[in-house]
Structure 1
Amino acid sequence: MLDDERWAGHVQELRRGTVVLACLAILGRPHYGYALLETLEKAGFSVDGNTLYPLLRRLEKQGLLTSEWNTDEARPRKFYKVGPDGEELRDALMGEWRALDGSIRALMEEDPDGRP
């Protein structure tokens, strides 16, 4: 049986590979960083701020996100939104995600116990 630490490591590795897709999926509408963290958390997708904020900056630098400062409130907030290239990547990644999901489901149906 897997111990908690090894299990958590594998779950973290799986989630790490999907953080970009999750962000691109949510950022069809503008969000600021903390609101994005909360939205991900409510969806059961826990991400640390030390992971999210550098990711947002990287995606913006790659031209996948656009950002705009909102200074209407006491504390300025940087809002992020998916740009055209980000939409294209999101759609492509969703297609890959669905294909992988279908492949894994097919493999599990071949042997419900998951044994080769």
Structure 2
Amino acid sequence: MVSDDILRIHLQELRRGTVVVASLVALRQPGYGYALLQRLADHGFPVDANTLYPLLRRLEEQGLLTSEWNTEERRPRKFYQTSDDGETVLRLLLTDLSAVQKSLTGLTEGVDR
């Protein structure tokens, strides 16, 4: 029997790559970090804050997200949104993800390409 730890490690690895895609999709509409954490978790992508915030900074540095501070509320919040370059990368990632899913389906169903 496979231990829970081994399964958890492999599920974490599988999810790690999809968090970028999920974040770019979710941030097509502006959002701040904590709300994004909740939204991702609500859709089956639980992410630790210590993972998400560095990811947001990295995606912003890469030009895939834009950000803007909202200082109108009691507590200033940094809002992120998928940039035009982010949309381009997202389209390519979604295409590749679809191809991977098709390949996996073929493998699991025994279909040759």
Quickly name the TM-score band, shorter chain normalised: over 0.9
1:2, distance to aligned residue in structure 2 (A): 1.0
Report the equivalent of 2:36.
Answer: 36
1:80, distance to aligned residue in structure 2 (A): 0.1
Q: Percent identity?
A: 57
In 2, Cα distance between the equivalents of 1:41 and 1:19? Answer: 11
1:17, distance to aligned residue in structure 2 (A): 1.2
Moved segments of 4+, more than 6 Å: none
Report the equivalent of 1:67.
Answer: 67
Aligned to 1:18, what secondary structure does the other structure show?
A: helix
Aligned to 1:2, what secondary structure does the other structure show?
A: coil
The count of residues paired between Structure 1 and Structure 2 equals 111
In 1, Cα distance between the equivalents of 2:84 and 2:42? Answer: 26
Aligned to 2:8, what secondary structure does the other structure show?
A: helix
Instruction: Identify unmatched segments of 5+ residues in structure 2.
Output: none
In 1, Cα distance between the equivalents of 2:93 and 2:2? Answer: 30
Report the equivalent of 1:21.
Answer: 21
In 2, Cα distance between the equivalents of 1:105 and 1:39? Answer: 28
Find out whether 1:12 has 2:16 as its counterpart: no
Instruction: Identify unmatched segments of 5+ residues in structure 1.
Output: 112-116
Aligned to 2:79, what secondary structure does the other structure show?
A: strand
RMSD: 0.9
Query: Which amino acid is 1:53 matched to?
Result: Y
In 1, Cα distance between the equivalents of 2:91 and 2:2? Answer: 35
How do 1:53-92 and structure 2 match up within 5 A?
Answer: 53-92=53-92
